[in-house]
Amino acid sequence: ANMKVVLILSALLGASLCLETFVGHQVLRVKTKNEEQVKQLQLLESLEHLQLDFWIKPSAPALPVDVRIPADNVQSVKAFLESRGIEYSILIEDLQDVLDQERQEMAKAAQRARSSGFDFGTYHTLDDIYAELDHLASEYSFVEKIQIGQSYEKRPMYVLKFSTGGSARPAIWLNAGIHSREWVTQASALWMANKIASGYGTDSFITSLLDRMDLFLLPVANPDGFVYTHTSNRMWRKTRSKIPGSVCYGVDPNRNWDAGFGGPGASKNPCSDSYHGPSANSEVEVRSVVDFIKSHGNFKAFLTLHSYSQLLMYPYGYKCTRPADYVELESLGRAAANAIKSLYGTTFQVGPICTTI
């Protein structure tokens, strides 16, 4: 009696969860010879209790008719066809077998895609990085790829948005590769994207962060420069914009911000690797970021990655006065440096940009 209850319950449960199975269902291909036979099939079609599922409906004698027949009715339908001399062949012996095999193949393919996937521990080209952004966005429902603009040479600027809900939640911006030769930063950004995406739901820190805030990650802030480091000059740092009146190319995008523009640490010489550019936000790569952040209106933090050195720094760079949030920034910096050190002993020096670098 218990067994029966269990069976009935599971059947009901199965139905409510839409767990249809096609065990024993057969798919027949029927070859009609004349109009009369077509009419016979149309008669069969009208018998609802048979639950026939016509994949190709009977219409004209010359055309084949494909029909799926539930297990219980396979014999009676075959008998019907045979008694009227209607030819048929078995397309699919057992539909469930085919579905099972298909599911296995799809699982294997997904497994293959995941394991022979992107090596986050090595350097990649821009194209490969961009392909992986698509992959991450497709693999995780809370990850979305957004284009925030185009570079000088018309390459798209892609940002990964991590958002588990809400509407314009307070956000963090993570910037990488603004200086194209600093290859470890673009690579690190992708590593972080993967770590954060795969950690949501299992890692308590990542989960609580993304449950409250959004993260915007720009892995290649200077795509033209990055391509140039692959094709021409590994040491290229700036953008690749043409400077009016100069034989030299490019602006240091990290001197192009509208904060202390043209001040100490930047050069007015177009040929310099720290050339600030003709005016603040003159570089489209910089302007795209500025416009996005300003129009969003709810950013709480901006982090940017550089190499080399091990420095964890906060404002200001262009002046040596303490920022309003100095105490919080210093203590946050210390906590972060301690966390980094706890892993492999790596030491980061903490302090304001002005005195640290």
273 scored as a contact of other proteins (CB under 8 A): yes
Nearer Cβ to other proteins (80/183): 183
The region of 23-31, 152-160, 234-242, 279-287 touching other proteins under the rule CB under 8 A is 234-242
Helix (H) or strand (E) holding 197: helix 183-199
Q: Which is nearer to other proteins, 42 or 267 (CB)?
A: 267
Say whether residue 320 binds other proteins (CB under 8 A). Answer: no
Nearer to other proteins, 297 or 345 (CB): 345
Indicate which single residue of 163, 207, 274, 282 sits in contact with other proteins (rule: CB under 8 A). Answer: 274
CB of 233 to other proteins, least distance (A): 9
Amino acid (1-letter code) at residue 357: I
Give the distance between the most distant pair of CA atoms in the chain. Answer: 98
Answer whether 9's CB lies under 8 Å from 1's CB.
Answer: no
Span near other proteins by CB under 8 A; candidates 30-38, 76-84, 126-134, 226-234: 226-234
Q: Which stretch binds other proteins (CB under 8 A): 147-155, 212-220, 265-273, 337-345?
A: 265-273
For residue 345, give every residue at least 6 positions away whose Cβ sits within 8 Å of its Cβ, in sequence order, or none: none
Q: Does 306 bind other proteins (CB under 8 A)?
A: no
Closest among 307, 303, 316 to 356, alpha carbons compared: 316
Beta bridge partners of 125: none
CA–CA dist 236, 232 (Å, integer): 9
Restricted to residues 165-224, the positions that interact with other proteins (CB under 8 A) are: 183
Among 131, 235, 320, 339, binds other proteins (CB under 8 A): 235
* DSSP, residue by residue, 204-215: HHHHHHHHH-EE
Least distance (Å) between residue 340 CB and other proteins = 19
Window contacting other proteins (CB under 8 A); options: 59-67, 82-90, 92-100, 232-240: 232-240
Residue 285 · residue 239 · CB < 8 Å: yes
Total residues interacting with other proteins, rule: CB under 8 A: 15
Cα separation, 185 vs 215, whole angstroms = 17
Nearer to other proteins, 121 or 245 (CB): 121
Is residue 292 within 8 Å of 148, Cβ to Cβ?
Answer: yes
Cβ at position 285, least distance to other proteins in Å: 17
Element (H, E) at 302: strand 299-304
Residue among 96 and 272 whose Cβ is closer to other proteins: 272
Contact assessment for residue 74 and residue 93, using Cβ atoms and an 8 Å cutoff: no
Among 267, 282, 304, 356, binds other proteins (CB under 8 A): 267
Rounded least distance, CB 235 to other proteins, Å: 5
Nearer to other proteins, 183 or 318 (CB): 183
Is 27 in contact with 67 (CB distance < 8 Å)?
A: yes
As a whole number of angstroms, the distance between CA 35 and CA 264 comes to 91
Q: Estimate the crossing angle of helix 126-139 against helix 223-231, to 10 degrees.
A: 130
Summarize as ranges the residues that interact with other proteins (CB under 8 A): 122-123, 183, 229-230, 234-235, 237, 252, 267, 271-274, 357
